[in-house]
Amino acid sequence: MRVEIVLPDQHFIDSSPQEVMSEMKLHHALFLFQQGKISIGAACELADINIYDFMTVCYKYQIPIMSYAGNELEEEIQNALKIGEYAHHCG
């Protein structure tokens, strides 16, 4: 998809058109990822950056890279504890 946006030049004196486009793509990818509309892989593809750089930007803007719905996190913790107890008794 190609989108054309006209922006006033005075707001981008120190930026090239490519820099503005990259920043807009990154922020749109962050927004969609934060809203849960795209995966982290899709966000990286949209922003045209690798996953490590994307996670760094998420950290900068305090966007969690993992989220759990309902009691999923508690279930994961309980499963990890059970595995730990089992390993402790077997070892």
Tens of pLDDT, residue by residue over 31-78, are 999 999 999 999 999 999 999 999 999 999 999 988 766 676 677 777
Rounded distance between C-alpha atoms, residue 78 and residue 50, angstroms: 33
As a dihedral over the C-alpha atoms of residue 3, residue 48, residue 33, residue 59, rounded to 10 degrees, the angle is -130
Nearest to 51 by CA among 63, 60, 42, 61: 42
Q: Which of 73, 78, 62 is nearest to 30 (CA)?
A: 62
Residue 26 has pLDDT above 90, yes or no: yes
Q: Is 5 helix (H, G, I), strand (E, B) or coil?
A: coil
32 to each of 10, 45, 49, 69, how far by Cα in Å? 28, 12, 15, 17
Q: For the whole model, what pTM was predicted? A: 0.71
